[in-house]
Structure 1
């Protein structure tokens, strides 16, 4: 039986078990296993130990929540906060995924909160050991929103644990993912409202700058190359290279110069995919960091 490792955290051999805590895509069980394995790597880099009280912001369908709940054990818990509509998401909605996770062996360790991070923090005076932001920062409307959230966390948590895509590709097959994100981010910046998962594609440097403005100091950072089975890059590239993306540009962008920029970014993505000579698109590198408060006590 796979168990916790006292020196390295969770074993990646737990990924198939944790994957069952989430709904399974019919015919593609490996999809959730890869997602769980990736987040085990994140949790181990953050050193989340049994008994930790975690505030997870931008929990979404709970992919990271499941791994965090496994890591903190029966003596820990996770407050998972996300503003997404219950019917948002595919092939499973947030509501379906969260209900499935609540019925899992770690479900009692999780409390779901439907709210924006700022609204949730303003409505409670609770404190936690750690705040986790796992692949959620690009959902924020702006860098200003990130600064406000990180500022609001002072006095509420001891550490910040962040993971976001690095806008860097160690593998050639991940270059299309970087280009697709820049194309998508450019398009979504032209909209008043959007439900896309790339809205503010901040780089690690930009996130560290925002954290510094919020009086958080980066104490550890690393970059990891995702597993082959992590399909986020392929999904994002697929949406950008589709004809629907071009129609969205025509419908949403009025500035002709901006249309050219976005169309060129899409064309660069298509060219990068073509250069792979049929090889599968990979997911770009992921930046993983830990921050401590630099604010006076």
Structure 2
């Protein structure tokens, strides 16, 4: 495998939080997620609702961006024992044990269709999670619900063509 050069922001994250230090694949994914978070304009002190958090790759980048005064509510419809090579529970437990953990609340087996919150979030994020939807109408329903829960919706996906 060809080694990739990490940018200064990613290197600083790895040094500060001691996460993903020995996993080059996670480091590359982290750098991509940090670039997304920067493009989304996530700032210190924001409250973020992340839908489809999975193993927490984007969640960790979001928690770094919101800082000590911000927070990330991360939900996923899957259970803690879903996923490989680490389950969602194993991966997010590692993140929760870091300094970032205080800024994050993970909620698994949580369907956004039934999720209720009186809080208005600064940002709602769906990052590389829309391919789990069975049909485009389901994603549209989420966006419609989010309009009343978040000031801004940030969306990233590899391919917008539903197959």
Query: When the two structures are superposed, what TM-score results if normalisation uses the length of structure 2?
Result: 0.87
Tell me what 1:33 maps to.
Answer: 27
1:126 to 103, 109, 119: 119
Tell me what 2:48 maps to.
Answer: 54
SS in 1 for 2:75: strand
> Aligned-pair RMSD on alpha carbons?
1.9
Contact 1:56 1:65 in 2 (8 A): yes
Q: How far apart, CA to CA, are the structure 2 residues paired with 1:112 and 1:128?
A: 16
1:116 matched to 2:114? The reply is: no
**How far off its partner does 1:142 sit?**
1.1
Tell me what 2:4 maps to.
Answer: none
**How far off its partner does 1:15 sit?**
4.6
Where in structure 2 are the equivalents of 1:135-146 lying within 5 Å?
A: 135-146=128-139
SS in 2 for 1:161: strand
SS in 2 for 1:55: strand
**How far off its partner does 1:18 sit?**
7.0
Q: How far apart, CA to CA, are the structure 1 residues paired with 2:112 and 2:15?
A: 30
Query: When the two structures are superposed, what TM-score results if normalisation uses the length of structure 1?
Result: 0.49
Greater Rg by CA: 1
2:12 to 6, 11, 14: 14
* Structure 2: gaps (5+ residues): 1-7
Tell me what 2:87 maps to.
Answer: 93
Where in structure 2 are the equivalents of 1:174-253 lying within 5 Å?
A: 202-203=160-161
Comparing both structures, which one devotes a greater share of its residues to helix? 1
Tell me what 2:153 maps to.
Answer: 160
Distance 1:141 1:18, change over 3 A: farther
Q: How far apart, CA to CA, are the structure 2 residues paired with 1:17 and 1:151?
A: 39
**How far off its partner does 1:124 sit?**
2.4
